[in-house]
């Protein structure tokens, strides 16, 4: 990514990005501005530093940047160079998620639909394709968290069925490629994307629905950038449900008197521009008991890690700060619209005194469906 000289000049005189960055709260020397300065330094190239991998690409700095620097895209461009120069990221969970992603490009036989057979109705071909993403793998890998990692997918399918939609769910689906792209592995991203485009084309779907913000944003922005205009419409499920539920006659039982708060996922909020649809959905059963955290919407804090890399004490510090912010609202339950945020914020509570349930928006709504 090329920055203009004007952007660089203004950047060197500013510091708004550093004051906005959640990593800089935990890592005193970390600064987006200094990383841009280092990109101009031939003696200590940015692509040879650990900082290039520490960035959460959460876009909180870009949201406030006076000269419109797209810092996540700036970082992504240097990550490919970092890989080429033998400076790879530290992969979390012993790299098993990266290994599973690579295996999906080999044509390995997958069973991605057994959960759906037990949950509701779906099809092999049709107008709507529900892109499940990596949730079936999360179900196996994160059993130790004592939660059902497929809850978001199960809730999504139940809600779609109640709307009269039996979506396509496919065993041939692959990871969307988000993590590969944001860790500098464009070749792997392309392979995954090509398989997904072929699978969706063969299904005959005209609309692809996503419960995962990362999958949604990757299809919406990156797939057209690499492969041209898509032959189908891309919708995030919160926007779709917000549009369809009012006219469908779905009714929701009032929730208990517990107070809820909502965590904006970075890819859905700042980068996807979707803020109000999830809140309107939560309020269907909550009836106004949604209590906002101090940092919400465009100012919301990241869940602390991304792309299954660099999970560290810095990440835990960011996560615990966000969880304590949720507790301070008086909420007894935290709702989010991202399966990864749910996992990260639940995991962060291990070995702490925090016991704040983190629930995804789809299982929350499905749990309160009448009938």
pLDDT of residue 6: 78
pLDDT of residue 333: 96
> Taking Cα atoms as reference points, which of 64, 214, 70 lies closest to residue 132?
214
pLDDT confidence tier of residue 371, bands split at 50, 70 and 90: confident
Q: State pLDDT tens for residues 223-261.
A: 999 999 999 999 999 999 999 999 998 999 988 888 999
Q: State pLDDT tens for residues 303-324.
A: 999 999 999 999 999 999 999 9
In contact, 210 and 234? CB cutoff 8 Å: yes
pLDDT of residue 11: 84
Q: State pLDDT tens for residues 162-176.
A: 999 999 999 999 999
SS3 content of the chain, % helix, strand, coil (to 5): 50, 10, 40
Q: Rounded mean pLDDT of 247-276?
A: 94
Q: State pLDDT tens for residues 171-229.
A: 999 999 999 999 999 999 999 999 999 999 999 999 999 999 999 999 999 999 999 99
Query: How far apart, in Å, are the Cα atoms of 356 and each of 257, 261, 318?
Result: 16, 11, 16
pLDDT confidence tier of residue 37, bands split at 50, 70 and 90: confident
Structure tokens belonging to residue 292: 């906002």
pLDDT of residue 287: 79
pLDDT of residue 255: 84
pLDDT confidence tier of residue 106, bands split at 50, 70 and 90: very high
pLDDT confidence tier of residue 28, bands split at 50, 70 and 90: confident
Structure tokens belonging to residue 203: 């299904």
Instruction: Kindly tell me if the per-residue pLDDT of 42 is higher than 80.
Output: no
Q: State pLDDT tens for residues 69-96.
A: 999 999 999 999 999 999 999 999 999 9
pLDDT confidence tier of residue 104, bands split at 50, 70 and 90: very high
pLDDT of residue 45: 82
> Taking Cα atoms as reference points, which of 279, 154, 265 lies closest to residue 217?
265
Q: Rounded mean pLDDT of 267-283?
A: 97
In contact, 26 and 314? CB cutoff 8 Å: yes
CB-based contacts of 17, cutoff 8 Å, min separation 6: 11, 31, 32, 33, 61, 62, 64, 65, 69, 71
Intervals of CATH 1.10.1060.10 along the chain = 5-84
pLDDT of residue 295: 97
Intervals of CATH 3.40.50 along the chain = 252-367
**pLDDT, greater one: 129 or 16:** 129
pTM score of the predicted model: 0.96
DSSP string, 335-346: EES-HHHHHHHH
Fold entry, domain 5-84 = Fumarate Reductase Iron-sulfur Protein; Chain B, domain 2 (1.10.1060)
What percent of the chain has a predicted confidence (pLDDT) above 70? 99
Mean pLDDT of the chain: 94
Query: How far apart, in Å, are the Cα atoms of 204 and each of 146, 154, 198?
Result: 37, 23, 10
pLDDT of residue 230: 98
Rounded Cα distance, 27 and 22, in Å? 9
pLDDT of residue 370: 87
CATH class of the domain defined by 252-367: alpha beta
Tokens 């059963």 found at: 285
**pLDDT, greater one: 301 or 35:** 301
Helical ranges in 130-185 per DSSP H: 135-141, 151-162, 178-182
């Amino acid at each position: 990514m090329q920055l203009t000289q004007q952007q660089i000049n203004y950047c060197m005189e500013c510091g708004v990005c550093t004051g906005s960055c959640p990593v800089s709260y935990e890592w005193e020397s970390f600064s987006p501005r200094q990383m841009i300065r280092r990109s101009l330094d031939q003696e200590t190239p940015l692509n040879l530093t650990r900082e290039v991998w520490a960035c959460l690409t959460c876009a909180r700095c870009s949201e406030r940047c006076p000269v419109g620097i797209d810092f996540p895209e700036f970082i992504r461009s240097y990550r490919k160079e970092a890989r080429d120069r033998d400076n790879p990221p530290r992969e979390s969970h012993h790299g098993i998620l990266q290994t599973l992603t690579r295996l999906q490009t080999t044509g390995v036989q997958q069973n991605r639909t057994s959960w759906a057979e037990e949950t509701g109705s779906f099809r092999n071909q049709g107008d709507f394709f529900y892109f499940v993403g990596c949730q079936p793998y999360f179900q196996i890998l994160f059993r130790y968290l004592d939660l059902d990692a497929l809850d978001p997918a199960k809730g999504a399918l139940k809600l779609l069925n109640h709307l009269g939609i039996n979506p396509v769910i496919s065993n041939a689906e692959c990871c969307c490629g988000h993590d590969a792209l944001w860790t500098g592995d464009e070749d792997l991203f392309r392979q995954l994307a090509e398989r997904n485009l072929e699978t969706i084309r063969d299904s005959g779907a005209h609309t692809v629905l996503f419960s995962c913000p990362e999958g949604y944003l990757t299809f919406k922005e990156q797939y057209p950038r690499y492969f041209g205009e898509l032959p189908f419409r891309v919708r995030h499920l919160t926007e779709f449900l917000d549009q369809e539920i009012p006219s469908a006659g779905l009714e929701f039982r009032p929730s208990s008197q517990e107070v809820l708060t909502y965590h904006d996922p970075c890819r859905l909020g700042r980068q996807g521009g979707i803020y109000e649809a999830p809140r309107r959905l939560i309020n269907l059963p909550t009836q106004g008991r949604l209590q906002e955290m101090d940092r919400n919407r465009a100012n919301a804090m990241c869940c602390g890690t991304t792309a299954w890399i660099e999970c560290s004490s810095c990440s835990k510090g960011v996560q615990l700060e966000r969880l304590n912010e949720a507790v301070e609202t008086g909420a007894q339950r935290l709702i989010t619209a991202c399966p990864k945020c749910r996992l990260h914020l639940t995991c962060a509570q291990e070995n702490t005194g925090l016991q704040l349930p983190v629930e995804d928006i789809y299982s929350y709504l499905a749990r309160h469906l009448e009938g």
